[in-house]
A and B are shown apart, each in its own frame.
Chain A
Amino acid sequence: MDCIYEGARALYIQPEECINCGACVPACPEEAIYFEEDLPEASLPHLEDNERFFTETLPGQSAPLGSPGAARKVGRLGVDTPRVAAFPRRATET
């Protein structure tokens, strides 16, 4: 599927385009993808934040991304939600 969009520091799943096939769960090298019902409580804020990536106008953009239909059409956006952008950088990040 092509429903995972690339921000600057994180990837975001377009909830309307995801077909719940589960292919991304084992593919994620960070083991950061969960089915909604299995999401650890501590990670619940990420669920809403993920949606905001598509529904709110991101810094430097003129309109919300919405549902483009395929991530490959959009390419790397190079921008994150304010919550993700504010996370301290890890040593391995460039």
Chain B
Amino acid sequence: MTTDELVDTRRTRCPIEPEVGATFHQWLGERSVYWSNERKAWIVTGYAEAARILEESSNFWRDIPLRDGAAEFWGRHLLVMEGRDHRRMHAVHMQLTGEKFAEDMRARASEIARELAARLVKKGRADLAAEYADAAVFMIGCDFLGIDIADAPMMEYLLGEMKIRARWKEELHAGEGIPFSSQVAQDGKAAIERMAAVLLPIIRDRRDHPRDDLISALWKKGPTVFPDWNERDVLSTIWSSMDNETKPLLRGLLYTLCRDAELQARLRRDPALVEGFVEEGLRFLTPFRTIRRVVKQDVEIGGQTMHAGDSIYLITPLANRDEEKWACPHAFDAERKQESTHFAFGYGPGYCVGRYVGRVEAQEVIRAMLAGTSSFSLDPAYPKPEWEGEMYHSIMPVHAILQPPAR
């Protein structure tokens, strides 16, 4: 059976599945674990194999630390840690930004999103990807870090620089990465230093004058793992609050709503359904579409023998379409009961520490746009947006017409 035939047999019931899947359907093979000569890596598409790879950190771990420029990009960040340091820092993150923190920040996230949505609705038209999804996540993150989001010029400056950094991030993580000497990496590094000039004084201020914010909490907890914890460690840690997978998730969710007026109406009538809508979006869109691992010791998996040093591409949206785990997995069902754990946030020791915050952010940003409009739809003045991205699977721009609520 060809890959196209395999895709056709599995692509059912959802009108946007073909376009969403265009960036990962090509990875469907006849086996759930197979070798790709093109990528010189193992491709893993099966749920059980993906779970095992994500769980067994002694056999499989991130390849990020091995990439050229990773140390310069990430600093001493959780993503480049391993073993004991990783486990302890992961626990610190869960302590600081776990379920309770996420619920505590919900009201403020809603307030920020509603203000932003109202501003865009007043304009009547907006790129919901850049102007809403990306901006809302950035502002909510800055707010809980303790950065003054009322300082509009500073926020605009930082957001612009974060976009330059994000290009490096995407290229660094795609395929085999890019050299640190490349223009994209050098531009990204320069953007990081320009942002550092703004952020380090704030970070120092919170060291000397702690407040009730995440930067202050990081000063308190960081030294419990690293006694030499310093201002650059705090800086390295806070990037993830300002730029993360919630942005591509929200772009996709907003696009999905632009395409489905009936679903919009249903969620407006019953905002409690938004929680399930976001969860299904995580499973179906899986914005972090490729998780990379390197094999640490020879191991058998999925009927194949992987050798130490081999690379792995774990295609998460395909694992999240396992027919034994979800009924009609290629359908987007906003009211689906999620009986299985999806891998949109990874799993196991590397389980995303921002998963509670990300869910709350996404729920409140969607609720705010639904509450602030009577409807929104794709702007016909612009070409249809395309899904793309090697690491972040996303769609942008999402130009939309925003109708204010009926009086």
Contact = CB atoms under 8 A, between A and B. Distances in A.
Interface in A1-54: 19-23, 25-27, 35, 37-38
Interface in B341-384: 347-349, 351
Contacts of B91: 22, 25-26, 35
Contacts of B55: 19-20
Secondary structure type dominating chain B contacts: helix
A35 B94 CA distance: 14
Secondary structure type dominating chain A contacts: loop
B98 A20 contact: no
Contacts of A37: 84, 87
B348 A21 contact: yes
A47 B316 CA distance: 34
B88 interface: yes
B87 A35 contact: yes
B347 A38 contact: no
A22 B81 CA distance: 15
A38 B91 CA distance: 12
Nearest to A35: B87
Contacts of B349: 19-22
Contacts of A23: 94, 98, 351
A23 B94 CA distance: 6
B62 interface: no
Contacts of B88: 35, 38
B240 to A, nearest CB: 16
B403 interface: no
* Chain B, interface residues (CB within 8 Å), range: 10 to 19
B347 A22 contact: no
Given A26-B91, A35-B87, A38-B88, A21 B351 contact: yes
Contacts of A26: 91, 94-95, 98
A26 B99 CA distance: 10
B186 interface: no
Nearest to B83: A37
A25 B90 CA distance: 10
B98 A27 contact: yes
B236 interface: no
Given A19-B55, A38-B88, A25 B94 contact: yes
B95 A19 contact: no
A79 B163 CA distance: 56
Contacts of B98: 23, 26-27
Nearest to B57: A20
Contacts of B99: 27
Interface string B76-95: 00000000100110110011
A51 to B, nearest CB: 18
B348 A19 contact: yes
Contacts of B94: 22-23, 25-27
Nearest to B98: A26
Given A25-B91, A26-B91, A20 B84 contact: no
A37 B87 CA distance: 10
Nearest to B55: A19
B192 to A, nearest CB: 28
Contacts of A27: 94, 98-99
A21 B91 CA distance: 8
What 9 A-B pairs are tightest by C-beta distance, nearest first? A26-B95, A21-B351, A25-B91, A20-B349, A19-B348, A22-B91, A22-B90, A26-B94, A35-B87
7 contacts: A20-B55, A22-B351, A25-B91, A25-B94, A27-B98, A35-B84, A37-B87
Given A22-B349, A38-B88, 16 more contacts: A19-B54, A19-B347, A20-B87, A20-B348, A20-B349, A21-B90, A21-B349, A21-B351, A22-B87, A22-B94, A23-B94, A25-B95, A26-B94, A26-B95, A27-B99, A35-B84
